[in-house]
Amino acid sequence: MSTQPPTGGRLPFGVRLAAAMDAHGPLCVGIDPHAALLDAWGLPDTPAGLRDFSLRVVEALAGRVAAVKPQSAFFERHGSAGIAVLEEVLAALRRAGTLAILDVKRGDIGSTMAGYAQAYLADDAPLAADAITVSPYLGYGSLRPALQAAAATGRGVFVLALTSNPEGAAVQHARTASGRAVAAEVVAGAAASNAAARAAGELGSVGLVVGATVGDAVRELDLDLLAAGGPLLAPGVGAQGAGAPELQAVFGPARAHVLASSSRGVLGAGPDPVQLRRAAARAAAEAAAALRA
């Protein structure tokens, strides 16, 4: 039970996510309706196909996984009709009581960042999610409007820290004037944001995105992921190559805080809902074996 009072009518995101991972396993399933996957499901690459695909995933998996992560780009590419589908998907997840992490990777300054925060983290926002992904590369302090909005409504953010794309290293591995890696500065920012939750013995609501296939980078950059005190969203699990050895090597003593993210590895089992559920159950069991042994 949280020692913090309910925020915005709900418990803090970190508390709710920890309970969901305990109940369903440390797995987040992405909704990534790109054209090839829609075609594989026998659906057209149209707003109607997008809607059919996304709501089938929600119906099959809601209440069975810790979280579902719609990728905003695949909805945005269909224009206003796609955004309307995204609103419907987020509403369906809310009704089902399944945590929604909206992958939007927003990052800006001042009133613009406040606008993004209002769009995704306000209680009355049509696109409100339980958490969103954000980019800190205008400075961790630029995230303040999103951090404040999330705290006020019991929601969360996942801050990009260490990604597995080859282009990311030029920024994330770079050293500041203090000699600390940029990624380590981001981790330190999250640790400061989560200090009160960690003192209360709770999982913080400011998470980090750390790729499951980053290899030795966590050790080489001296990142203390456990001290960050929040959840660690780990893309790259399953079809993208990361299994138990990679998860254990990358996350070490912070493994219990990891929420493994799988999209293609689960969605490729569709469109049959039974097969989707089986694939998600297998992925959740594999993640639990790797992260909670």
ω before 47 within 30° of 0 (cis)? no
Let me know how many helices (H) and strands (E) the chain has, helices first.
15, 8
Q: How far apart are CA 147 and CA 142, in angstroms?
A: 10
Q: How far apart are CA 159 and CA 209, in angstroms?
A: 6
Pairing mode of beta strands 232-234, 206-210: parallel
**b vs e for 218-237, b when ≥16 Cβ sit within 10 Å of the residue's Cβ?**
beebebebbebbbbbbbbbb
Please check whether residue 225 is in contact with residue 187, taking contact to mean a CB–CB distance below 8 angstroms.
Answer: yes
Q: What tokens appear for 216 in the block?
A: 């030795």
> What DSSP element (H or E) covers 206?
strand 206-210
Residues with catalytic function: 105
